[in-house]
Amino acid sequence: MKKELRLTVNGQPYELYVKPKTLLVEALRKHLGLTGTKRGCESSSCGACTVILNGMAVKSCSILALQADGAKVFTIEGLADGEKLHPLQRAFLDYGAYQCGFCTAGMLASAKALLDEKAKPTEQQIRECIDGNICRCTGYNSIIRAITAVVNGEYKEEK
Amino acid sequence: MSEYSVIGKPVHRVDGPAKVTGSAKYTFDIELPNMLYGKILRSPYPHATILNINTTKAKKLVGVKAVVTGKDTLGVKNGVWRRFPELCDEEILCRTKVRYIGDPVAAVAAIDEDIAEEALDLIDVEYEMLPAVFDPLEAMKEDAPQIHEGVERNINVTRRIEWGDVSEDFKKCDFIREEQFYSTPQAHLCMETHGAVADFGYDGKLTVWTSTQSSYYIQALLAGMLGMREGDVRVIKPPSGGAFGSKFELDSAQFCAALLSQKLRQPVKIILNREEEFTATKRKTPMNYYVKVGAKKDGTLVAKEVRVITEGGAYTAMGATALYLTGFYSSLPYQWHSYRYDGYRVYTNTAPASALRGFGAPQAYFAGESIIDMIAEDMKMDPLEIRRKNAVTPHYEVPGQAYIQSCGLSGCYDAVEKYVKERGKLPANRGIGIGNYGFMSGGIFNWFNTPYAFSAAMVKINIDGKVDLFTGACDTGQGSDTALSMICAEELGVHLDDIRIHAEDSNIGPADLGAWGSRQTLMSGNAVKMAAADAKRQLTEFAYAKLSPNVVYDMDIKDHWIYLADRPERRVSYFDIVKEAIRAKEGQVIIGRGHYTPHRKGMVSPAWGFGVQAVEVEVDPETGKLKLIEIFTAHDCGQVINPVAVLGQVEGATMMAAGGAFCEDQPSDNGKILNPSIADYKVIRSLDMPKTVSIEVETYEPEGPFGAKETGEGLTSPTGGAIANAVYNAVGVRIKDLPITPEKIFRALKEKKQQKGKKGK
């Protein structure tokens, strides 16, 4: 039996009906069509599905959609403001912090959650923050450089 | 090389904005109206005869639309080595026999994934177990179970490469070292698993969206398997979530989705789950590697002999190429007076082994770079010096195999030497190891037996000066769409944002063999450059008439100006000439065509990338725990096209190689892979990844577009050997089988201690 679920995603409230076993990642992707968030495994270990749930980076395949009832969810689709890219996005472009791009939504969610919490994380903290996100292409260091550049104030929010 | 206006400048990738905003649509994301979801039933046994498959119950399940088995196929055996029919050995949906755990036996299409999954449980397959064999050394024995009919001792392919007289040369050597090494399997672990959406229409034509490295191969192979004409199979490659060698053969998702859609005339989507990805797609070839090298007192490397027995798994796949390349790379990057390689690829009842980034090179270089350090120690020679003294140089011919034009190794050695000196004396339990390599820029071989050029491109200039670039090259994340757009812009004298590349559709762009063997920059790049030059010539003809120089001048285009090469101030606007030229051609758009197939460039590749790498490690002598501290790479990929992308390739390939060397493994029990999940398959994550420093030693490669050559895979080569050498330099133990785990180091340290103790008594 499907159940009602209320979610606010990227500032937009939604009401939807999902099966009790539906995972949050599937609710986002299949019910809301927000396919920017990916899924790379069934064991909550690749990080491709990371979103920000009530301010925390969470693997959206690791919780049921109904567990997120009433929650505020942030996905990659909410990062840019219209045509204005978020500083993290611009840094990712400049530093080549993505290749195939399949892990990028999760990486950006982990990075944003960190920067929302800490203004000046250390390199070690940045590495820890994306340690749950596998990137098979870049070797991570370009991602670390991009996030560090944002931390160092090289990228300001576009007004 | 600053005369270029686009080439060599760091740019955003053309697919970048879509990827950092989540708007790039992958195969995984595609949903079509009226679409069904497919799932594949796979063999739980390593070797068995299929007696019967009963699909009645599954077909009756509400929501199930079709169930197919091998009986629904044409029974064509599929393979990329089409020139050799005996090596096309994979039915994909097995008809009479399964050969490994994961071999597909049936596929279901249903209205949702849950129902499809449930239907799999209702399919009743009756198997008769056959004796199975997992170790290639066992499989080669006379009385071993036969995996493919008529294949004696399960020997799938043998390769010999030979020059000079190794036996005679060894007699003349002052130092000889003989060793055995072993390389484990490795999974590609693409973040996007294999998948396809197939839509077979009522017009009898098939469209397949799939994450692939070669739209053309998939088009041709699917057509063959389904009894269709190639032109009726259209393969569209959306952005791909990684490939690394795993996505250029026809896979079970593509074939089963197409077959189901052909039956149902409805779109069918199949995405493999992660467990299937680990157990039922191809993987890196495990190798038993025997090697003997001989050298003279003065430090000259003279002779090398290599014998390799590989665990091929159940099918040939690209393994035949990997077997040859392991043999070729085992000679590089040194000038051996004599060399002999014997490779045996053996069928086993395990997951088929094929190409994984490096294509046979990482295994060869792990052994090769380890044994060079070992013999250097015997000879009391510096590891860098022995490499420098014996390395290939520009214009060197690998006897009967390859001709090397550009080679930047010399500059790379200088850079690494300087780096190592600057690191100074290392703390206890730390060591630096080095490794070097050469790697191909695309393969010359044509086992696919294509009548097409290896690469081709088309450039269309529109009335507003905007350019459409058509190619069959496949961007799998490595950045070829951007590199090819840059080559096009540079040749045509326009800006990067004037170019729109169309590389995703087999029926729109000309055929290209795709992304494997590090071929896109050089081969597709040459085709693009030629197409752009063809289009450019059509513009400069008009400009020439307009400028009417009184002596003959060459003309060129740069930054939207068409000018006389020797008098750049005499110029006309690119945009004006485009308009006039199109008008004068009765309104036809300007189309340039280009193609590239290597000619007279030896057996392997037309050009070679090179590099030298130094890896610093720290070993905990109590636990054997290995930590990567820093990796320095000096790299020669000819002219750099996009520096951001090149650095990404260097760092990414290094990480993949380091993973294979120190944590990635697929332990198995009677053919069953024991760690088929990302939770259990350990890869390098951000905390394991050491600091990386990379420098480019630029050369000019005459065969490459603007002097460019490979950069995608070469760096998977030196890292394994360099890590093994570093561990030895840190704590004095030599690990000869990958991965170099704490357990192996711990045991070796213990053994070393015991031997010391014995000597002490």
Q: Which residues of B touch A43 (CB under 8 A)?
A: 274, 677-679
| Among A46, A134, A142, beta carbon nearest to B648 | A142
**What band does B2 get if pLDDT is binned at 50, 70 and 90?**
very low
Q: Is residue B142 part of a domain?
A: no
CA gap B753, B252 in Å, rounded: 51
| Among B24, B476, B679, beta carbon nearest to A43 | B679
Q: Is residue B523 part of a domain?
A: yes
Q: Which residues of B touch A96 (CB under 8 A)?
A: 13, 644-645, 647-648
Whether residue B678 and residue A75 make contact (CB cut-off 8 A), yes or no, is no
Q: Is residue A28 part of a domain?
A: yes
**The predicted structure's pLDDT at residue A77:** 98
Q: Is residue A156 part of a domain?
A: no
State whether A64 and A131 are in the same domain. no
The pair of three-digit structure tokens given for residue B92, joined into one six-digit string: 């994909």
State whether B110 and B71 are in the same domain. yes
pLDDT at residue B557 greater than cutoff 50:
yes
Q: Would an 8 Å CB–CB cutoff place B652 in contact with chain A?
A: yes
State whether B516 and B504 are in the same domain. yes
B229 in Cβ contact with B235 (< 8 Å): no
- For B713, which residue in chain A has the nearest alpha carbon? A137
State whether A117 and A140 are in the same domain. yes
Q: Minimal Cα–Cα distance from A41 to chain B, Å?
A: 5
State whether B318 and B433 are in the same domain. yes
Contacts of B750 (CB under 8 A, 6+ apart): none
Q: Would an 8 Å CB–CB cutoff place A142 in contact with chain B?
A: yes
Per-residue pLDDT tens for B304-327? 999 999 999 999 999 999 999 999
Q: Is residue B366 part of a domain?
A: yes
CA gap B27, B190 in Å, rounded: 13
State whether B518 and B608 are in the same domain. no
Q: Would an 8 Å CB–CB cutoff place A101 in contact with chain B?
A: yes
Please report, to the nearest 10 degrees, the dihedral formed by the alpha carbons of residues B491, B505, B213, B511 taken in order.
Answer: -60
Q: Would an 8 Å CB–CB cutoff place B107 in contact with chain A?
A: no
State whether B303 and B438 are in the same domain. yes
The beta-strand segments (E) located in chain A are: 3-9, 12-18, 50-53, 56-59, 72-74
pLDDT at residue B1 greater than cutoff 70:
no
Mutate to test the interface with A, among B28, B30, B191 (most CBs of A within 10 A): B191
State whether A48 and A73 are in the same domain. yes
Domains: count for chain B: 3
State whether B551 and B527 are in the same domain. yes
Mean of pLDDT values over B464-478: 97
State whether B616 and B710 are in the same domain. yes
Domain boundary among A55, A78, A101: A78
Q: Would an 8 Å CB–CB cutoff place A144 in contact with chain B?
A: yes
State whether B519 and B630 are in the same domain. no
Q: Which residues of A touch B687 (CB under 8 A)?
A: 127-128, 131
Q: Would an 8 Å CB–CB cutoff place A127 in contact with chain B?
A: yes
Averaged pLDDT of chain B: 96
Whether residue A141 and residue B689 make contact (CB cut-off 8 A), yes or no, is yes
The pair of three-digit structure tokens given for residue B630, joined into one six-digit string: 């820093």
Q: Minimal Cα–Cα distance from A139 to chain B, Å?
A: 4
Whether residue B651 and residue A41 make contact (CB cut-off 8 A), yes or no, is no
In chain B, residues 158-217 whose CB comes closer than 8 Å to chain A: 188-193
Q: Minimal Cα–Cα distance from B243 to chain A, Å?
A: 9
B289 in Cβ contact with B721 (< 8 Å): no
Whether residue B191 and residue A85 make contact (CB cut-off 8 A), yes or no, is no
In chain A, residues 67-86 whose CB comes closer than 8 Å to chain B: 75-77, 79-80, 85
Helix (H, G, I), strand (E, B) or coil at B695: strand
* Torsional class of B322: left (φ above 0), alpha (ψ -120 to 50), beta (otherwise): alpha
Per-residue pLDDT tens for B238-260? 999 999 999 999 999 999 999 99
CA gap A151, A135 in Å, rounded: 21
State whether A94 and A131 are in the same domain. yes
Q: Is residue B491 part of a domain?
A: yes
Q: Is residue A11 part of a domain?
A: yes
Whether residue A98 and residue B24 make contact (CB cut-off 8 A), yes or no, is no
The pair of three-digit structure tokens given for residue A52, joined into one six-digit string: 């920000």
Helix (H, G, I), strand (E, B) or coil at B81: coil
Per-residue pLDDT tens for B656-707? 999 999 999 999 999 999 999 999 999 999 999 999 999 999 999 999 999 9
Q: Which residue has the tokens 């030629």?
A: B530
**The predicted structure's pLDDT at residue B142:** 96
Inter-CA distances, B647 with A121, B173, B190, B306, B644, Å: 25, 41, 20, 33, 5
Q: Is residue B1 part of a domain?
A: no
Whether residue A143 and residue B191 make contact (CB cut-off 8 A), yes or no, is no
B574 in Cβ contact with B556 (< 8 Å): no
Whether residue A76 and residue B21 make contact (CB cut-off 8 A), yes or no, is yes
| Among A44, A46, A76, beta carbon nearest to B22 | A76
Q: Minimal Cα–Cα distance from B697 to chain A, Å?
A: 20
What does residue B402 show for φ and ψ, rounded to 5 degrees?
Answer: -155, 155
CATH of the domain at B501: 3.30.365.10
**What band does A159 get if pLDDT is binned at 50, 70 and 90?**
low
State whether A130 and A66 are in the same domain. no
| Among B656, B678, B687, beta carbon nearest to A41 | B678
Q: Which residues of A touch B274 (CB under 8 A)?
A: 40-43, 46
pLDDT at residue B80 greater than cutoff 80:
yes
Q: Minimal Cα–Cα distance from A47 to chain B, Å?
A: 10
High-pLDDT (> 90) share of chain B, %: 95
pTM beyond 0.90: yes
User: How many residues make up chain A in this entry?
Assistant: 159
The strand pairing partners of B572, in sequence order, are B562
Inter-CA distances, B228 with A65, A156, B223, B256, B259, Å: 44, 55, 5, 15, 12
CA gap A44, A58 in Å, rounded: 10
What does residue A39 show for φ and ψ, rounded to 5 degrees?
Answer: -140, 130
Please report, to the nearest 10 degrees, the dihedral formed by the alpha carbons of residues B479, B484, B486, B492 taken in order.
Answer: -170
Which helix (H) or strand (E) element contains residue B696?
A: strand B691-696
**The predicted structure's pLDDT at residue B554:** 87
Mean of pLDDT values over B579-587: 93
**The predicted structure's pLDDT at residue B89:** 97
Q: Is residue B261 part of a domain?
A: yes
State whether B584 and B620 are in the same domain. no
State whether A91 and A71 are in the same domain. no
Whether residue B19 and residue A39 make contact (CB cut-off 8 A), yes or no, is no
User: Which is higher by pLDDT, B211 or B600?
Assistant: B211
Pairing of strands B338-347, B301-313: parallel
Q: Minimal Cα–Cα distance from B486 to chain A, Å?
A: 16
| Residue B449 CB neighbour total at 10 angstroms | 11
CA gap B262, B247 in Å, rounded: 22
Q: How far is CA A132 from the centre of its chain?
A: 12
Domain span at residue B589 reads 16-23+454-596
Mutate to test the interface with B, among A62, A83, A134, A141 (most CBs of B within 10 A): A141
CA gap B372, B470 in Å, rounded: 46
Mean of pLDDT values over A42-48: 94
Q: Which residues of B touch A149 (CB under 8 A)?
A: none
State whether A63 and A96 are in the same domain. no
Mean of pLDDT values over B719-730: 98
State whether A91 and A146 are in the same domain. yes
Q: Would an 8 Å CB–CB cutoff place B21 in contact with chain A?
A: yes
The beta-strand segments (E) located in B373-484 are: 396-398, 402-404, 430-440, 455-461, 467-471
Whether residue B24 and residue A139 make contact (CB cut-off 8 A), yes or no, is no
- For A47, which residue in chain B has the nearest alpha carbon? B191
Q: Is residue A51 part of a domain?
A: yes
The strand pairing partners of B510, in sequence order, are none
CATH of the domain at A127: 1.10.150.120
CATH of the domain at A22: 3.10.20.30
Q: Is residue A115 part of a domain?
A: yes
- For A75, which residue in chain B has the nearest alpha carbon? B22
CA gap B503, B479 in Å, rounded: 12
Interface contacts A/B by beta carbons within 8 Å = 167
Q: Minimal Cα–Cα distance from B195 to chain A, Å?
A: 12
Amino acid in the structure at residue B536? K
Whether residue A36 and residue B645 make contact (CB cut-off 8 A), yes or no, is no
State whether A115 and A136 are in the same domain. yes
pLDDT at residue B553 greater than cutoff 80:
no
Contacts of B133 (CB under 8 A, 6+ apart): B47, B139, B144, B145, B147, B154, B348, B349
**The predicted structure's pLDDT at residue B490:** 98
Q: How far is CA B593 from the centre of its chain?
A: 27
B426 in Cβ contact with B715 (< 8 Å): no
Q: Give the helix ranges, DSSP H, for B190-306.
A: 215-226, 252-264, 274-280
Domain boundary among B579, B596, B613: B596
| Among A37, A135, A141, beta carbon nearest to B692 | A141
**What band does B761 get if pLDDT is binned at 50, 70 and 90?**
low
Q: Is residue B520 part of a domain?
A: yes
Q: Is residue A159 part of a domain?
A: no
Please report, to the nearest 10 degrees, the dihedral formed by the alpha carbons of residues A144, A146, A149, A154 taken in order.
Answer: -170
Q: Is residue B205 part of a domain?
A: yes
State whether A103 and A121 are in the same domain. yes
State whether B110 and B124 are in the same domain. yes
Q: Is residue A157 part of a domain?
A: no
Domains: count for chain A: 2
State whether B287 and B384 are in the same domain. yes
Q: Is residue A108 part of a domain?
A: yes
Cα dihedral B352, B358, B359, B362 sign: negative
Mean of pLDDT values over B732-757: 95
Mean of pLDDT values over B39-43: 98
Q: Would an 8 Å CB–CB cutoff place A40 in contact with chain B?
A: yes
Per-residue pLDDT tens for B285-297? 999 999 999 999 9
State whether A137 and A103 are in the same domain. yes
Q: Would an 8 Å CB–CB cutoff place A105 in contact with chain B?
A: yes
Domain span at residue A69 reads 3-78
Q: Would an 8 Å CB–CB cutoff place A2 in contact with chain B?
A: no
CA gap B99, B570 in Å, rounded: 70
- For B480, which residue in chain A has the nearest alpha carbon? A99
A145 in Cβ contact with A88 (< 8 Å): no
pLDDT at residue B615 greater than cutoff 60:
yes
CA gap B5, B483 in Å, rounded: 14
State whether B437 and B335 are in the same domain. yes
Domain boundary among A78, A107, A138: A78
Q: Would an 8 Å CB–CB cutoff place A43 in contact with chain B?
A: yes
Q: Which residues of A touch B15 (CB under 8 A)?
A: 101
Q: Which residues of B touch A37 (CB under 8 A)?
A: 22
State whether A73 and A8 are in the same domain. yes
Whether residue A102 and residue B677 make contact (CB cut-off 8 A), yes or no, is no
In chain B, residues 657-696 whose CB comes closer than 8 Å to chain A: 677-679, 683-687, 689, 691-692
| Among A43, A96, A143, beta carbon nearest to B678 | A43
The pair of three-digit structure tokens given for residue B119, joined into one six-digit string: 């239907």
Q: Minimal Cα–Cα distance from B684 to chain A, Å?
A: 8
- For A42, which residue in chain B has the nearest alpha carbon? B274
Whether residue B189 and residue A136 make contact (CB cut-off 8 A), yes or no, is yes
